[in-house]
Structure 1
Amino acid sequence: MSQATPAARRKARRFTLQALYQWQLAGASVTDIEAQFLANNDFAKTDREYFHDLLHGVPGQVKELDELLTPFLDRRVEELSQVEKAILRMGAFELKERLDVPYRVVINEGIELAKVFGAEESFKYVNGVLDKLARKLRYEEASERPSSKDD
């Protein structure tokens, strides 16, 4: 597990989103996409290990991640935009596998990626889906927060 700064992890997530987007559209091998990204981008201030873990982890568990997300979606996974699909899959993977990352960080990073790369309101959708998934996968951690009026 790498001890990277939040900024280095943020850059890793941004590159991972772009790489997953390419993987979803082109279906190229993750190893080839990773090599291309490492060759064509400045990874000096990026958590390369985290990039690798996310980029290989999401496609490796894509069926399971989609099944985890499905109960919280208002449409089929195939109907999501490519950006939303990549962000939600990455968030689901982090919530499931990276317990060292607080669930609030996972959700916030997904929101920020959606604001930059997604459609105008997609950050709200990403927030809602990941928040519900966090309550399922990280019940103990999520239940420690103060409850809202809807809880």
Structure 2
Amino acid sequence: MKQTRSWARRCAVQSLYQQALSGGGPATTDLEFLAGEDSRRVNQQYFQALIEDLRRHAREIDRLIAPALDRGLDEVDPVEGAILRVGVCELAYHPGIPCRVVINEAVELAKLFGAEQGHKYVNSVLDKLARQLRKTEMKTGS
């Protein structure tokens, strides 16, 4: 079975969401997702890198997201908030991943887990942020 970054993103979103709802520590929830039945699908190295970056840069990620929102980050649906955090983490700290891939993956996660129109909101916010964080890439369309 192929291990994918898509599944790593999915597990990172689920981990962030669970932490937000339960107040559980990151180590506990991270391990739960790596031990799940779909763990063979997850690119575990990428999952760990995402989780480490999300933890290390949490304040900066939230600071980057805030101006692109039409409301406070605490008012954003927790699922969409988790998806936005993973997307911004990739835009800011994983430059080797094309911004269009980051945005498309986030939109697909929002369709899967978010509210009915949540994917449109996620797309809009990440597109704004990609234009700031990856100006050259967005201009050239790479």
Q: 1:88 aligns with which of 67, 84, 107?
A: 84
Which residue of the partner structure matches residue 13 of structure 1?
9
Amino acid at match of 1:29: G
1:136 is the counterpart of 2:140: no
Amino acid at match of 1:66: D
Structure 2: distance between partners of 1:35 and 1:22: 12
Following superposition of structure 1 onto structure 2, how do residues 1-151 of structure 1 map, counting pairs within 5 Å? 8-145=4-141
For residue 41 of structure 1, report the CA deviation from its aligned partner.
Answer: 2.9
For residue 145 of structure 1, report the CA deviation from its aligned partner.
Answer: 2.3
Amino acid at match of 2:136: E
Flag structure 2 segments of 5+ consecutive residues without an equivalent: none
Query: What secondary structure, in the 3-state scheme, does the structure 2 residue paired with 1:40 have?
Result: coil
Structure 2: distance between partners of 1:123 and 1:137: 20
Structure 1: distance between partners of 2:33 and 2:111: 22
Amino acid at match of 1:67: R
Aligned identity (percent) is 45
Q: List per-residue Cα deviations over 1:13-69 (Å, max 9, x = no partner).
A: 111111110112222221121222222333222200111111222132221111101
For residue 142 of structure 1, report the CA deviation from its aligned partner.
Answer: 0.6
Structure 1: distance between partners of 2:125 and 2:31: 31
Structure 2: distance between partners of 1:90 and 1:40: 20
Structure 1: distance between partners of 2:17 and 2:37: 16
Amino acid at match of 2:135: Y
Q: TM-score, normalised by structure 2?
A: 0.93
Aligned Cα root-mean-square deviation (Å):
1.5
Contact 1:30 1:56 in 2 (8 A): no
Contact 1:8 1:46 in 2 (8 A): yes
Structure 2: distance between partners of 1:52 and 1:21: 16
Aligned residues: 141
Amino acid at match of 1:69: I
Structure 2: distance between partners of 1:86 and 1:63: 14
